[in-house]
Amino acid sequence: MTGLLLLVLNARSQTVDSIITAPQTIKVSMSTPQPRLNETFEITVDASDIRDNIFKSVKGRLGFPEDMGSMESGKLKTKVKALSLGKNQMGPFEFYIDKTRYTSAIISYEVIDPLPQTDKGIWIRQVRTGEDAFCIIIEQRIPAVTKSGRTADNGISITTEPVTEEMVEFKYNDSIDGISAGNSERTSSFSSLEKDGNDIPFKYSFGIYHFSIKDDKAKIRITRDLFKNLPEDYKFEEIVVQ
């Protein structure tokens, strides 16, 4: 997969030298390297290089500390929806600021089938994010119930609660030869689907775990024991990375 596909971009510090030699290539990332059809995901543009170009104009009139602080706020984000199954491309993004041309690499990615119409299930998959990188994605739906009650001032409260809080997670350990762990992120939200004219609520969880391959000759296997809260009746198939 070309381009930079990272769920979380670590904040970084800028120095005076990096301001002077700021590149004209901008970094673009996706919140998931393999969205599902009609899934909403996030595109992030690292705007730190744009900021660098703006502040070059005051060089010589102002001093800059060696550590200019976090760049986490220097990101432009927007949400989009995956509309076409199969292989897709994004970019390059291109624009000009003060006669300086900024462009991004082309990101190639695949859109896969949507999840089935069910309020319960676990879906685990591996996605290659580069020649020496991959990620494990865990999706889960847990049935939920809607409850009503009375508040202290005699009002009505309505809450939605999952039948269990045990979400499946990846348990990385050093026993996996040939790889090193990178960023990971888990999010959850409540949603619903329509069945027989009724809205069926559920809790949805999305977890992504990034890894780098350090030994291209190592036999990398992701086995059942590396997952937490995986039900005994779940039919897990060993994931062969290489």
Residues 197-242: pLDDT tens digits? 899 999 999 999 999 999 989 999 999 999 999 999 999 999 999 8
Residue among 106, 97, 87 at smallest CA distance from 22: 97
Q: What is the pLDDT of residues 185-200, one digit of tens each?
A: 999 999 999 988 899 9
The pLDDT, as a whole number, for residue 24 is 77
Q: What's the pTM?
A: 0.78
Whole-number pLDDT of residue 151: 80
Burial degree of 203 (CB within 10 A; 0-12, 13-18, 19+): buried
Range 16-111: architecture per CATH: Sandwich (2.60)
For position 91, what pLDDT does the model report? 86
CA-based nearest residue to 142, from 185, 184, 190: 190
Rounded-to-integer distance, Cα 90 and Cα 28, Å: 10
Q: Where are the domains of the chain?
A: 16-111, 121-240
- Output the six-digit token pair for 81: 């929806």
Question: What are the helix and strand counts (H, E) for the chain?
Answer: 2, 17
The pLDDT assigned to 154 comes to 78
Q: Are strands 121-130 and 107-111 parallel, antiparallel or unpaired?
A: unpaired
CA distances from 186 to 7, 48, 183, 200 (A): 10, 26, 11, 23
